[in-house]
Amino acid sequence: MVFDEQSLRSALGKRLQEYRQEKGFTLDNVVEAAGLDISRSSLSAIENGNQGISAWELYGLSKIYGFSLDALMDKINQDLLSEKYSIKF
């Protein structure tokens, strides 16, 4: 099954924001801890689905938030499938 880029960005951003909030981190905390060349505004845009993320940035966030990339991709796939097949009233 193929999903459009915007749907993938939105689902990924939503999950990254959930991981960050579960850890109790602010955007500023993450930018400082990440050791990556990513700004607060870029991280916000990623979480809002308005900007893509590099593999290196995603890997860095996975280490900070404590998730595996496989688990993240499984959750995103589930999110996208549930959106596609959900019945809207």
Task: Give burial (CB, 10 Å; 0-12/13-18/19+) of 11.
Answer: buried
pLDDT of residue 8: 86
Read off the pTM: 0.82
**pLDDT, tens only, 38-47:** 889 999 999 9
Please tell me what DSSP assigns to residue 86.
P
- Residue ranges of domains in the chain: 5-84
Query: Which amino acid does the sequence have at 4?
Result: D
The CATH superfamily holding the domain 5-84 is lambda repressor-like DNA-binding domains (1.10.260.40)
- Per-residue pLDDT tens over the stretch 59-73: 989 999 999 999 999
Average pLDDT for runs of 10 along the chain of length 89: 77 94 92 81 95 91 91 88 59
The pLDDT value recorded for residue 35 is: 73
